[in-house]
Amino acid sequence: MNHNNQDMFSPLTLKNGVELKNRLVMAPMTHTSSNPDGTVSDEEVRYYAHRSKGVSMVITATTYVTPNGMGFPNQFAADRDDMVPSLRKLAKGIQDEGAKAILQIFHGGKLCPPALVPDGDVVSASDIPSDREGAAIPRPLEEAEIEEIIEAFGETTRRAIEAGFDGVEIHGANGYLIQQFFSPYSNRREDRFGGSLEKRMTFPLKVIDKVQSVVAEHGNEDFIVGYRFSPEEPETPGITMKETLHLVDVLADKNLDYLHVSLINFFSNPRRGVDDLTKTRIHHLLETINNRVPLIGVGSIYTAEDARKAFETGIPLLALGRELIIDPDWVQKVAEGRDDEIITEIDKAKQEELVIPNQLWKNIVNTPGWFPGV
């Protein structure tokens, strides 16, 4: 192993006592490759297992907690108890290769396609549509419905425990329902779930409390609970870096096992909301967290040198997304000092060798610019 790579292969002990064997994680990525009935497909399990050998933790593609939270076609389900056997198959496929299996849980909110939710009833914090072409105007959730969704996050956590997962990641990022409640753009409510910054944090914090209470009742002390967030929104009014740092400051004291920032580029700078725009978002976040909880960084990490530079910031954990699709053996190559053998562009002749499900493969090759080499 290259001496400069040793830090990324040191173990890390989470707050709940779980030891991660290294600092590298597989990032959650949508692949739209589940069965039409919401069960996990065999090619999906193979895809994950093939990428679970080197990393310490695999965070799955997100799964929905209620029928009206489904955000993608061919997305696997966790909104009902008869999905537990399917979920168990996915957890085992990851764990058999030596990684912790983390189930990411979410509700799509206004980003749910009407055709995928019962009666086309798309819901959100308020009636502000997304900027996607042809987006539906969402129906604002009633307070009783909000409480039901909070309960559903708890029930999905129980199912993850019963299915044998090592943890869950609450998906509060990428514009989905939890972020919609935190966002001053999407949330125009005037009740206890909206208005001030503190009130807009109510829904995310209640989801965390519910998940943690279910873990205390049904799980073991070593069950991992993480939370993912996006640092900023382009809209005005929208989430600013200042507001996110306030949220993160609160989250760092919520007894979570990790936080996970969603970034396209690990080294990106804030667009607004802080005095120093020359410092990266990662630096601002690490300063605010101040070692209270591990932070997972992510975003366009392809080479071992990219990873080394990322770890030089002091980030405790680093997630790899597209790169693990391009080169499933990335971690092993770095561990064995074979940095020069890392592949950083997708080889369009090697779908079968890379163990990439058919629908994900179609999405990759038909989306120019999404992956290097396409």
Task: Please list the active-site residues.
Answer: 176
- Residue appearing with tokens 């490759």: 33
CA distance 76 to 180: 22
Phi and psi of 366, rounded to 5°?
Answer: -100, 10
Question: What values do phi and psi take at 3, rounded to 5?
Answer: -55, -35
Provide the β-strand partners of residue 12.
Answer: 20
Distance (Å, rounded) from C-alpha 121 to C-alpha 140? Answer: 10
Residue pair 283/313 in contact (Cβ under 8 Å)? The answer is: yes
For the range 143-151, what are the long-range contacts, defined as Cβ-Cβ under 8 Å and sequence gap of 24 or more?
143/191, 143/192, 143/193, 146/193, 146/203, 148/66, 149/65, 149/66, 149/69, 149/107, 149/177, 150/203, 150/206, 150/207, 150/210, 151/210
> Given its phi and psi angles, is residue 67 left (phi above 0), alpha (psi -120 to 50 degrees) or beta?
alpha
State CA 361 to chain mean position distance.
21
Task: Supply the DSSP string of 80-94, one letter for each residue.
Answer: SGGGHHHHHHHHHHH
